[in-house]
Structure 1
Amino acid sequence: MQRRAKLTEIDFVRGIAILGVLMVHSTSEATIDMKTSGLYGIYNFLNIFSKIGTTSFILLSSFVLFYNYYPQPFTFAQLKKFYRNRLLYIIVPYLVFSTLYFLHRWRLNKHEWSLPDMWPSFWHKVLTGQAYTHLYFVFISIQLYLLFPILLYLFKRFKWLAASAIIVGVVVQWAFFLLNREYWQVDNRGSWSLSYFGQYFLGAWLGIYFDRIRSWLVIAKESATVGKVISWCVLWAVWLSAGLGYVWLFYQSRVHRTMFSNALYDGLWDAYTMLTPIVLIQVAFLLRDKMKSSLWVAALRQLGIVSFGVYLLHPFVLFYYRQHPLHGGPGYMQHLWYAGGFVCALLVSWLVVYVLSRLTNLSWILFGSVPAQLEAERAKRKREAGNSVTPGTVSG
């Protein structure tokens, strides 16, 4: 069976998701240090409303896998290729950056450089996704890649399971939340894939049934009906309400030390992070037609292509940026300094990933499939440019 067409719109969603990650990390210190500022509500909003990165990437990963593999027979040869690609393009960069960040933290903590002490600590952190604060996402992704062939088989074997994937995912996720709270009390709950089964199974459902629901996802005047418009408004209203409610909880907790139940946090977080990728996919379809006419839209897609590399690298940029804090000066300078952290994390990481990916064929060791994606995009632009040249304009 022929593979489904590549959805370039997904790159826009990745671009927005990585902006969310950078915003969360660049405002994390401000949510602690700026509580007396009159703009603290803005910092809190940017920090919490932007918590869409990890969950969106998980949903997108699931969406792309099921979109590509579900319609086809999943052969043993495909299984070997699947795991080979994940080994080379996910696990290798994960191990490389885990090593770099582990050594970085070891040096900062001024531990003795003793291999017998370092080795057990290193492997414990690698095997639990704790070599650095952001690497838990890659650790979760590896868990989900291990599960993917099993879930793909079950969804193909039992059509009712595929049709009810969203319900099943949410039920499993919340069963884990409740059982963990009452009995297991697993450390670092957010580092385990069961915490994201709702998002993952929603992505699977979207990937499986995308051809059927695409016409509803695309917001277009020519295909709009009363029913569609109402459903779009309901989706966006519920999404915005859940997001703002989640922001409000944290503001009350951080500023007024108000205590809320874990179930309320989890409920609003789950609703917000499951609806966000759907909203972003709709936004991506709106942006698609502007890609050739808007430099900013084209840049957002380019950011989406390099997002994995930016994700892995940006904490180094933020760390060294924060080694040069402001001392005194007008109050607005502090706000500019925090904004500068976001800009540097974005631009420096983006530039380094892009340049290294173009300079060396070995950059996949650091950034996985990013170099290949950049090269494919470059080749595509060349073909499009060649096809747009009329016969009468070719010289020589």
Structure 2
Amino acid sequence: MKNQGAQAKTEKIAEINFLRGFSILAVLAIHTTGYFTKVQPYKTLALLGIWTDVFSQFAVPLFIAISGFVLAKNYRQNFPVTKFYVKRARSILPQYVIFSALYTAFNHWQEMQNSSLPANLKLIAESIWHSDASYHLWFFAIIIQLYIAYPLIIKGYDFCKARGKSEYFLTGMLVIQVLWMVGAHTSYANVIKVNGIAYLFYFTLGIYSFDHFVQLRAFPKSLTPIWGTMSLILTFGASFFIVIGLTTGHIYDEIPPYFTTGSELVYPVLRLVTFLFLWNLAGSLARSRNFFAKVMTRLGDYSFGIYLIHLFFNQTTINILSSHQIGPNQWVFYPIVFTVTLILSYAGVRIISYLPFSYYLVGFGQQKVVKR
């Protein structure tokens, strides 16, 4: 097992970049198909939106797992904790603060024009503190918490691993995560839903995957269709609870908690199977190096920046389509929003990457690719 970690530590792992590419495409899909909640009356278009949205929800868990993998690759035993925190803060806080300010202005421009400078600064500060300048920035609250907890998590994991019990530690994280998420959907534990605890299993799974890197890479590619089929079946299963809630007359935001509780029990299995499916696809791309592989590599490079800026283009595109009476009830809405958002986000990050200090804006520069 030690040799597996040593091999993974010294080589560039192309599969990780492809997984980042898959994840950012899924993020764009979520922020496009999520408008199925606006489809009235409930019909086939909404059903396809639900299935796509539920499947694509692997995006953030996979980003979290990748973070666990990369941290385990670079920071293991006896690493300087203070230096670790400084580097992690540098890799995420400048971008988070800058884009929180930009999205606050983007979403509250009229209000801010009529407010004083102190009031606007207070609004920006509150948006940074609450991670709500834009609805996708909740990711930063999660990853910051996991970065803070990493030294403790890796010590606990390595303690169990030294005794041949790493699977027990991983299972414990799964139990904590599921209990937390089930509790978050009940009136008895109506706590903050967006929290690092809700992703502990995926983060630890990334660490565990690093330790089993060679075994993962040896997975037979003949299993790819099986993993894909299982992922689709589980997607339909997890969606079932939402569909029932909608077909019984509930508005999406008002579906009773007992519907979503069932989904939370399915999600970890669905994510794990989807991860295996995508890992096999990434392995195939790493060997082929065709045009699609090159595109996915570049998307992986730019994934952090695309995540940061894509909602500017997403919301602007939706507003323009709305002014032309094209909305979520029409099929053409979804491919237009997804395609335009992807192209403009990719182009935007590429342009920004040529600017001085682009690392502090989008985590990427022409002379430096940031590995997270």
- TM-score, normalising length: structure 1: 0.80
Q: Which runs of 5+ in 1 are unaligned?
A: 221-228, 377-396
Aligned match for 1:74, one of 78, 83, 96: 78
Q: Choose 1 or 2 for highest CA Rg.
A: 1
Aligned match for 1:85, one of 84, 87, 93: 87
Instruction: Deviation per CA, 1:235-260: give whole Å up to 9, x if none.
Output: 55543322121233323323443654
Structure 2: distance between partners of 1:31 and 1:271: 25
Aligned match for 2:98, one of 89, 96, 99: 96
Letter in 1 for 2:286: R
Q: 1:256 to 1:371 in 2, by over 3 A?
A: farther
Structure 2: distance between partners of 1:86 and 1:330: 42
Matched, 1:8 2:4: no
Aligned match for 1:363, one of 347, 350, 358: 358
Secondary structure at the residue paired with 1:335? coil
Letter in 1 for 2:48: I
Question: Counterpart of 1:312?
Answer: 308
Q: 1:280 to 1:32 in 2, by over 3 A?
A: same
Q: Which moved more, 1:339-348 or 1:326-335?
A: 326-335
Q: 1:83 to 1:4 in 2, by over 3 A?
A: same
Secondary structure at the residue paired with 1:29? helix
Aligned match for 2:243, one of 248, 251, 268: 251
Verify the 8 A CA contact 2:180 2:197 in the aligned structure 1: yes
1:336 Cα offset (Å): 2.3
1:97 Cα offset (Å): 0.4
Aligned match for 2:284, one of 283, 286, 297: 286
Aligned match for 2:71, one of 62, 65, 75: 65
Q: 1:279 to 1:370 in 2, by over 3 A?
A: farther
Structure 1: distance between partners of 2:120 and 2:327: 43
Instruction: Deviation per CA, 1:66-101: give whole Å up to 9, x if none.
Output: 13334xx4332xx34432332222111011101111
Q: Which runs of 5+ in 2 are unaligned?
A: 1-5, 251-255
Structure 2: distance between partners of 1:330 and 1:120: 36
Q: 1:372 to 1:166 in 2, by over 3 A?
A: farther
Q: 1:239 to 1:22 in 2, by over 3 A?
A: same
1:1-396 equivalent positions in 2, closer than 5 A: 3-33=9-39, 35=41, 38-70=44-76, 73-76=77-80, 79-109=81-111, 112-159=114-161, 160=163, 161-180=165-184, 181=186, 183-187=188-192, 189=193, 191-215=194-218, 217-219=219-221, 235-257=227-249, 260-291=258-289, 294-325=290-321, 334-357=330-353, 359-369=354-364, 371-374=366-369
Q: Which moved more, 1:9-18 or 1:23-32?
A: 23-32
Question: Counterpart of 2:253?
Answer: none
Verify the 8 A CA contact 1:310 1:353 in the aligned structure 2: yes
Structure 1: distance between partners of 2:350 and 2:327: 35
Structure 2: distance between partners of 1:327 and 1:120: 33
Q: Which moved more, 1:249-258 or 1:96-105?
A: 249-258
Secondary structure at the residue paired with 2:10? coil
Q: 1:34 to 1:205 in 2, by over 3 A?
A: same
- TM-score, normalising length: structure 2: 0.85
1:110 Cα offset (Å): 6.0
Question: Counterpart of 1:387?
Answer: none
Structure 2: distance between partners of 1:372 and 1:163: 39
Structure 2: distance between partners of 1:331 and 1:158: 52
